[in-house]
Structure formats: structure tokens, C-alpha cells
């Protein structure tokens, strides 16, 4: 099961209390203060890892607490620090404050760590307060409480290419052909209910990652169909592959489908509409009316976008599409390097 949004509570450990104590040793008639300090409370850390691709493990374990610091003891013995707690999340996870909705951290690569709740400081024992004029203080400080907060975790898949389009546009079939991913494929709408990731091997030890985004429909940005729940996964992609079913069996107009999806992307985030996009006409093997393909091609040409025709079932045009995607990703990478240098 795929889960990309969850709330958790984190509680850092409280600091241990200092202690009031005095030396009581044989042959030491005037023993001084010997109260030790309390230990520091453990902190709660969130760490990104490549071993996860969903937040499902946090649904059944929503509360995470670190160990409290131990209290100080006599003979100037400090309390033991509390152990930290670590919460593992997939790369691509964003942390928001559940109350203010402020973005606190964004995990973009494995091994990153974020302190979600810092442990409380340990209190001072009475030996800390001894002075020449106050040689036997009879007070100490208690430890500070650890931080506590509720967090909203949201996962945005990190992929090079995002597949978008109406339900049954052929996204799942394409990703199953060009990668080792095995998504569910059927001839009814909304077969894909969660994003699927596939790694495409283009040779010479080079790969790129493709995300199959569940089908969109008109009004998705306003909550229709599966709504905009999965549109966030397109935000991180460098390139959009917009698949349009041109077969006569879809019962829809390819040009209208193309315009609707682009409109929904723009309504969700205007930057998505400006993202590099390759338009792909699918299901050529069951195309009966060539005018449907020609009209879509003409419409895409007006938008000055790259256009490809494929049949995933017969593999027609698939290799050429993969090569085109590879070249486009290389060009995008070069542009990013030029911008960073400038």
C-alpha cells in the first residue's frame, strides 16, 4: 500500500533534574555540596533513506519519543543522557508544522537528518552554586522539558520523468514496457490508484527514473476524480511525458484531452504548465481514424512541443521515445549547470 501523507507526534526527552546533596565522608567534618547535574534529554531525529518509498510504516506508529535524561546523584555524579530516537522516511519527504503549515525541512537525498524535537537540558545540582560566600547551597535546578510538536509529513516522489494523462491513456503499459515496474493494467478507468516508479536503463550504465501518476480528469485540481492528491508527485520531475489516447475506442476527443490535462496542471501550479513536456500519442495499434492523430499533432505543433507516436503493445515508436527522453534530460542537465555557474 502506498501512503504519501501522514501526521506524527514527536516528543523529545525531558532533561534530568539536578540534585541537592552534601558530602558525608569519614574524617571530613565539613563536607561541601556534591549534587550532580541531570542528564540531557534525547532528541527526535528524522532521517531520509533509500530503503523506503512510502510513509505507510508511520501510520501505525504515529508517536515517537526519545528517552529522558537521568537525574543527578550525590558525589557529583551526573545523570546519564537520554538516548535519541530516529524516524526513517523516504527521500522526497517534506516536513510541515501541523499547526502553522510552515515547511520545516525537505529531504532531497539519502542520509539527510533533521532534528524535529530537541531534548531538554539537564538541571544543575547544588554543587554548581557553591561560592566563597555561599559554601553550602541547598537548592538545585530541575531539568528542562523536551520539545514536543505535531508534524505533517508529505511525500513527493523524486523522479526524472512524470507520466500524466487521462485514465487509460496507456501510462501503466508504457512504464511496464520501458522498465522493470509491474503496475496493474486493466481496461477500466483509475486502474492505477497510487504512483509507480520505474527505472529505465538506456545503456552505458545510464538510467532515468519514471513516475506513473494516477489518471487525471477535468476538475482534478479542484478535487474531481482522484483530485490533486497525486499532482504533487509531478512537481519534482524534470520532464513531463503527456500521454494522449488517440484510439477510436476512448470515446473522447484527443485534442480536448490534451488541453484539459494542461489546464489542470496550470490550475494546480503554474510552474507545471511551463515544465518541459513531450506529448505522446498512444495506442496506434488500435487507431481507426487517422484524423484523430493528425488533429492532435497539429494542436501540439501550435504549442511548439515535441511530439511522438507510439504503441506500447507492439513497441512501435517506444525506442525512439526513450532516446528522445534521454536527449531531453541531458539538455535539461546542461541548462541547470549553466545556470548554477552563472
The CATH number of the domain where 21 resides is what? 2.70.210.12
173 and 53 inside one domain = no
For every one of its 342 residues, what pLDDT tens digit does the chain have, with 9 covering 90 and above?
A: 456 789 999 999 999 999 999 887 777 666 789 999 999 999 999 999 988 878 888 988 999 999 999 999 988 999 999 999 999 998 889 999 999 999 999 999 999 999 999 999 999 999 989 888 888 899 899 999 999 999 999 988 778 898 988 888 888 889 989 887 665 444 434 444 467 778 888 887 788 888 887 756 555 445 544 445 567 777 888 899 999 999 987 778 999 999 998 988 888 888 888 889 999 999 999 888 889 999 999 999 999 999 999 999 999 999 999 999 999 999 988 887 777 666
106 and 7 inside one domain = yes
108 and 250 inside one domain = no
93 and 202 inside one domain = no
135 and 282 inside one domain = no
* pTM assigned to the model: 0.70
Question: Cα 158 from chain centroid?
Answer: 8
pLDDT of residue 70: 96
Cα 214 to Cα 72, 195, 240, 333, distances in angstroms: 56, 6, 14, 27
Q: How many domains does one find in the chain?
A: 2
pLDDT of residue 190: 41
User: Whole-angstrom Cα distance, residue 240 to residue 210?
Assistant: 10
179 and 298 inside one domain = yes
Query: 155, 183, 199: which is the final residue of a domain?
Result: 155
Nearest-10 crossing angle of helices 171-178, 318-341: 80
181 and 308 inside one domain = yes
9 and 117 inside one domain = yes
Q: Is 121 exposed, middle or buried (0-12, 13-18, 19+ CB in 10 A)?
A: buried
User: Whole-angstrom Cα distance, residue 229 to residue 164?
Assistant: 13
183 and 62 inside one domain = no
11 and 115 inside one domain = yes
User: Whole-angstrom Cα distance, residue 233 to residue 162?
Assistant: 8
Query: 122, 155, 188: which is the final residue of a domain?
Result: 155
User: Whole-angstrom Cα distance, residue 4 to residue 53?
Assistant: 9
Phi and psi torsions of 151, nearest 5°: -120, 145
pLDDT of residue 117: 97
CATH number for the domain harbouring residue 244: 3.40.50.300
115 and 63 inside one domain = yes
Q: Which domain, by its residues, includes 314?
A: 161-341
11 and 85 inside one domain = yes
Query: 140, 155, 170: which is the final residue of a domain?
Result: 155
Amino acid at each position: 500500500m502506498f501512503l504519501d501523507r501522514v501526521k506524527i507526534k514527536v516528543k523529545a526527552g525531558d532533561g534530568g533534574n539536578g540534585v541537592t546533596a552534601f558530602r558525608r565522608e569519614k574524617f571530613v567534618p565539613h563536607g561541601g555540596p556534591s549534587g550532580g547535574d541531570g542528564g540531557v534529554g534525547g532528541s527526535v531525529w528524522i532521517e531520509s533513506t533509500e530503503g523506503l518509498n512510502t510513509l505507510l510504516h508511520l501510520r501505525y506508529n504515529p508517536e515517537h519519543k526519545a528517552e529522558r535524561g537521568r537525574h543527578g546523584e550525590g558525589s557529583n555524579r551526573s545523570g546519564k543522557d537520554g538516548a535519541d530516537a530516529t524516524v526513517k522516511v523516504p527521500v522526497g519527504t517534506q516536513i510541515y508544522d501541523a499547526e502553522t503549515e510552515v515547511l520545516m525541512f525537505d529531504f532531497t537525498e539519502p542520509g539527510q537528518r533533521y532534528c524535529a524535537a530537541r531534548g531538554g537540558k539537564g538541571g544543575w545540582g547544588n554543587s554548581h552554586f557553591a561560592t566563597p560566600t555561599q559554601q553550602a547551597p541547598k537548592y538545585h535546578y530541575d531539568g528542562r522539558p523536551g520539545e514536543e510538536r505535531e508534524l505533517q509529513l508529505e511525500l513527493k516522489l523524486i523522479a526524472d520523468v512524470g507520466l500524466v494523462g487521462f485514465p487509460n491513456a496507456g501510462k501503466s503499459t508504457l512504464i511496464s514496457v520501458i522498465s522493470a515496474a509491474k503496475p496493474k493494467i486493466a481496461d477500466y478507468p483509475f486502474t492505477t490508484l497510487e504512483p509507480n516508479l520505474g527505472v529505465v536503463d538506456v545503456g552505458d550504465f545510464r538510467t532515468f527514473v519514471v513516475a506513473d501518476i494516477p489518471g487525471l480528469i477535468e476538475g482534478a485540481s479542484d478535487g474531481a476524480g482522484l483530485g490533486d492528491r497525486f499532482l504533487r508527485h509531478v512537481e519534482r520531475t524534470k520532464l513531463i511525458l503527456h500521454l494522449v489516447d488517440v484510439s477510436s475506442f476512448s470515446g473522447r476527443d484527443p485534442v480536448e484531452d490534451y488541453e484539459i490535462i494542461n489546464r489542470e496542471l496550470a490550475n494546480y501550479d503554474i510552474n507545471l504548465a511551463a515544465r518541459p513536456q513531450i506529448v505522446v500519442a498512444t495506442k496506434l495499434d488500435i487507431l481507426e481514424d487517422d484524423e484523430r492523430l493528425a488533429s492532435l499533432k497539429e494542436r501540439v505543433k501550435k504549442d511548439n512541443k515535441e511530439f511522438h507516436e507510439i504503441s506500447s503493445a507492439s513497441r512501435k515508436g517506444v525506442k525512439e521515445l526513450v532516446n528522445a527522453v534521454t536527449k531531453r534530460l541531458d539538455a535539461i542537465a546542461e541548462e541547470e549547470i549553466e545556470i548554477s555557474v552563472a
